[in-house]
Structure 1
């Protein structure tokens, strides 16, 4: 149980139902949850007071699609296209990963998230070559202190998918805490329809949501495999469509009606040549849409870059088609809408009393953030990781005064560099 906290005198931004600047207020936290938001709140006896003067206070960012294990191969292929990513990163480098490399990457990658104000991450983990790899990944997420959804993508022999997924689910169910589970599916667009049937079946059996790369490969594939999912009743299981680029407006409406959601990685989608992000069209059709860093091998790992990218790309659509997209839309995708996509909107993503106290305090006493007129506009267009002063997860302070707590960061990074040297050895 965490100690009570009072965050005092910050400029508070809430995001539910829509992003809004509440003004200069206090946030009271008890038992790891938001108890009250308002001006001049009295301090609870024994509460620690955090002075948020010259700070913006807002919900922590939610990253809905990140291959966290790839932290050790940052910028290994900054100018590749998607086919080269599959060959170089997944075909050549990934098989060299030992369990200890997965641990090093996941721990450092999760701390990278916290350092940048990302308090919740879906770790889409497709480096599960053995039970040892899986246990190392999960252990690192627990150790980091981040709120995580472990997106388990089975990587062993084909006939072991169901049994191993059940085992991993039991492993996570037996260790309650900040780490939960989703099934990261390779079917139907990557590994075929037969695998998809098994993946969605075991997800339904275990009550797990599914996250899958869907709609980012081609127009024909998007149309064909959406019809397959519908015909087999698979969308009864909550499904996140990652890189949902090639759908028509009508198909997005069908996805919305089925309860589906979308995750976009706007930098990667453009840089890898996957396609132009369709976040605006998806949202207009009623599909909750969110943001993910995807991979740091060729893209930044912070939410500020992603918010700026999606804002620019939407507003830059030909003929002014996206000029209705605002900085508030970008911030919503990065917070409460991301929580909706992960099925966590009752727990995180906004400052509603009763929710978990996952919060970020951003500095405004720097040349790049001073004299802020529109705090939401400043968060999306001007802030960067250097502005992240304080971070809380479930009421626990994990970063204070610009420094991560609870970890020997130098040792974590040394292990990451050692791992990089191993996995990149010719």
Structure 2
């Protein structure tokens, strides 16, 4: 099967190909086969991208999709309040169905806003049925996902058996990969951290680690536990020396600027990461506290760092959310740029919308004026999963009802208000 996307402004994010003011993209059997100013493909199905921007789908390498039902509830929360609310108040009441519908709707939201690849950082660990529900949700949603399995917040329970069990479920390839959500030595001690990293090495898994305090990276380095397969998340407040340790190991850093600034983590580490030789990547984190689209994340990252030193360019931000993030997940050979041979993970953005028209500088317009309403078409591995602003083959009214029922049942069981007055009090 062939598909030809024709007549758009093409931002390839491939330095060898550059941008095309007017270009075509040819797709065969789910992969990009050619990018050029004009392609003759009379036997291809045509997608007209005139008055559109064609670019790689966004890559989000850190999101907790199970929390989707409580979108916006934590807009005013600090990090201790969020932790108390999500992990100690509502999480104990989550059933596998709650995990399924929250994860599914979170993944569909990401896809709707142009995120074609997403890492779902699962830390609602309770039973195997809960894990299986999350995997099923990611499987039922289009697009490429990485299920990052962690043992849960504030627990030192072993993860080896769970990781192996889920790995066996996912064996055989497909759109869902597995990663290890590591808790880190500050939570479990260095011996447990070493066992988890050894397990990830053995199974060939990427590792994602919330870096919550200075010294974590140093401790891992002193025990020879830093890997190129590791992505540190947040890392606010750590020094340039520890960031250089990450860079020297070939590791990555994921920045979630909206959550970090609002919850009191500190300034995003974008500039220091660049100073250390890291190429930052971007992520959403959680939607109780922040917007779930990459456009908002791009804009916050850009404004925060430009306000400090003025160094970033719009193109840098697009790289953080596409090629850099894909590399951090071990998927640079599959996605992140419109390079022939890669999967056709592509988004097509409107340029005729009054919020962005006229588009004079495409990269700058995406970063400074972009929003989910511009996402006209989304292709995941060549399959059209959103067209004319609407997800294809998704019964959203039925799914909305399930998500609302899930939220209302959990809130009633946890005895929390849903009228904007819920202010969790962190325990001492």
The TM-score by the shorter chain falls in which range? Answer: over 0.9
Which of 98, 104, 108 aligns to 1:111? It is 108
Between the aligned partners of 1:158 and 1:294, the Cα distance in structure 2 is 22
List aligned pairs for 1:286-325, cutoff 5 A: 286-317=277-308, 321=309, 323-325=310-312
Q: How many correspondences in the alignment?
A: 412
Distance 2:98 2:191 in 1: 31
- Aligned twin of 1:355: 342
Question: Equivalent residue for 1:39?
Answer: 37
Check if 1:213 corresponds to 2:193: no
CA distance in 1, matches of 2:410, 2:225: 37
Q: Name 1:150's counterpart in structure 2.
A: 147
CA contact (8 A) 1:18 1:332 kept: no
The one of 258, 262, 277 aligned to 1:267? 258
Alpha-carbon offset, residue 101 of structure 1: 0.4
Instruction: Trace 1:34-183 onto structure 2 (pairs within 5 A).
Output: 34-45=32-43, 47-155=44-152, 160-174=158-172, 176-183=173-180
Aligned to 1:24: 22
Identify which range, 362-371 or 264-273, moves more after superposition: 362-371
Deviation at 1:238, TM superposition (A): 1.3
Quick one: distance in 2 between partners of 1:302 and 1:31? 28
Using the TM superposition, give the Cα deviation of residue 347 of structure 1 relative to its aligned residue in structure 2, in angstroms: 0.7
Answer yes or no: is the 8 Å Cα contact 2:68–2:287 preserved in 1: yes
Offset, 1:288 = 2.7
Unaligned segments of structure 1, at least 5 residues: none
User: Which residue of 206, 213, 220 corresponds with 1:229?
Assistant: 220
Please give the per-residue CA displacement for 1:114-160, whole angstroms capped at 9, x wherever unaligned.
Answer: 10000000100101211100110001101001211110012498565
**Are the counterparts in 1 of residues 214 and 239 from structure 2 also a CA contact under 8 Å?**
no
Q: CA RMSD in A?
A: 1.6
Q: Is the CA contact 1:4–1:44 (under 8 Å) kept in the aligned structure 2?
A: no
Work out the CA distance in 1 between the residues paired with 2:152 and 2:366: 39
Q: TM-score, normalised by structure 2?
A: 0.93
Q: Deviations over 1:240-281 (max 9, x none)?
A: 000022222232222111111000000000000011101122
Report if the CA contact (8 A) 1:268-1:299 is conserved: yes
Please name the residue that 2:323 is paired with.
Answer: 336
Inter-partner Cα distance in structure 2 for 1:196 and 1:86: 22
Residue 345 (str. 1) matches residue 342 (str. 2): no
CA distance in 1 between counterparts of 2:237 and 2:17 reads 28
Distance 1:160 1:254 in 2: 27
Q: How many Å separate the matches in 1 of 2:192 and 2:252?
A: 21
Please give the secondary structure, in 1, of the residue aligned with 2:100.
helix
For the Cα contact (< 8 Å) 2:156–2:187, is it kept in 1?
no
Aligned to 2:405: 418
Tell me the secondary structure at the aligned position of residue 5 of structure 2: strand
Equivalent residue for 2:374, pick from 371, 379, 387: 387
Distance 1:18 1:328 in 2: 15
Tell me if the contact between 1:183 and 1:210 (Cα under 8 Å) persists in the aligned partners: yes
Check whether the contact 1:265–1:293 (CA below 8 A) recurs between aligned residues: yes
Q: CA deviation at 1:16?
A: 2.4
